[in-house]
Amino acid sequence: MKRKLILAVAFVCTVAIALVAGTRIINALERKSYTATYSMQAGGLTRSYEVIAPVAALPKQAPIIVVLSGITAPIDDEVQRDRFVPYVDAGRAELVYPVGIGLSWNAGGCCGKAAADKVDDVAFLKALVAQVDPGHQHPIYLVGYSNGGRLAYRMACSGAGFYDGTAVVKAMPMPGCVVTRPLTIMQVESLDDPSVPFKPGDRGRESPPATVEIARLRATDGCSGHLVTTSYPSAKIVTWSKCTSGRVGFAVYDTGGHNFPPPKGKRQPAASSVIWAFFTKTAIAPLPK
């Protein structure tokens, strides 16, 4: 009797383990994306970056989007904030999140440990392109938020055409950083951002105001007055496409402060949706399910 009881218990345990293992296998089969961390040498340092990619092969026309996080933000926090992963799960993009030194970026005198240590983040981002996309098989775009946005501007000011397009969210270039060549670039801003003034006379510690920088970018790219405007109850997106060799976009949200704009139903699209549409020249649509 005792032997039968032991065998019964063993059978139940075996079935339970098999069910758990089976669930894990099913979950692995249903997984749409994976995450991996890599390292490389750049600027005299060992740098790392995280890749979030579809399990299936990335189509050749699908973009690789490099995202520069805000200061003090671990990658997991930035992933939750910017909402680009749905495009990966839909098999339409690959994401790359470089890791900043001390969770910061040296945008040319700002900010945090990276600036204090004079880290060569420009060299890192240049070398990263060949690392994540050998032979330039995909369009590759750069998105920067706050401190990451300042570094994205520094890359644009460097004059090197390593990225096919840039999007800057809630940031302005550092003093002395002037974009001197035509490029495809979008600025995302809120009217109530306490850090970046929207127009001359508005509060905000960064300079220049967003409207002034957009005017400079349009002039540099020779953009005509032709524009396309998409309006929502609490957001307006303007794109100038008739430019010398690039495009200029300006997404303005009524509210949101210094945050990465989230979706709010029909009132406003997520900033990630706006940036995606700008990069891919498609209509703004809700995030993929």
Percentage above 70 pLDDT, the chain: 90
Q: What is the pLDDT of residues 65-124, one digit of tens each?
A: 999 999 999 999 999 999 999 999 999 999 999 999 999 999 999 999 999 999 999 999
DSSP designation for 173: P
Residues 107 and 174 in one domain: yes
Q: How many structural domains compose the chain?
A: 2
Structure tokens at 61: 């026309």
pLDDT above 60 (res 23): no
pLDDT above 90 (res 44): yes
What CATH number should be reported for the domain holding residue 49?
A: 3.40.50.1820
* pLDDT of res. 30: 72
Most distant CA atoms of the chain, gap in Å:
90
The answer as to whether 109 is a domain residue is yes
The alpha-carbon radius of gyration of the chain (Å, integer) is 22
pLDDT above 50 (res 163): yes
Residues 81 and 15 in one domain: no
- Report, as an integer, the average pLDDT of 272-283: 97
Residues 20 and 55 in one domain: no
Residues 5 and 39 in one domain: no
Q: Which residues constitute the domain of residue 6? A: 1-30
Residues 14 and 60 in one domain: no
Residues 94 and 51 in one domain: yes
- Report, as an integer, the average pLDDT of 235-248: 94
Residues 134 and 17 in one domain: no
Q: DSSP of 220-286, one letter per residue? A: HTT--S--EEEEETTEEEEEE--SSSS-EEEEEESS-TTS-PPPBTTTB--HHHHHHHHHHT----P
Determine the distance from the C-alpha atom of residue 229 to the mean position of all C-alpha atoms in its chain, rounded to a whole number: 23
Lowest-confidence segment of 20-34, 38-52, 174-188 by average pLDDT: 20-34
The answer as to whether 222 is a domain residue is yes
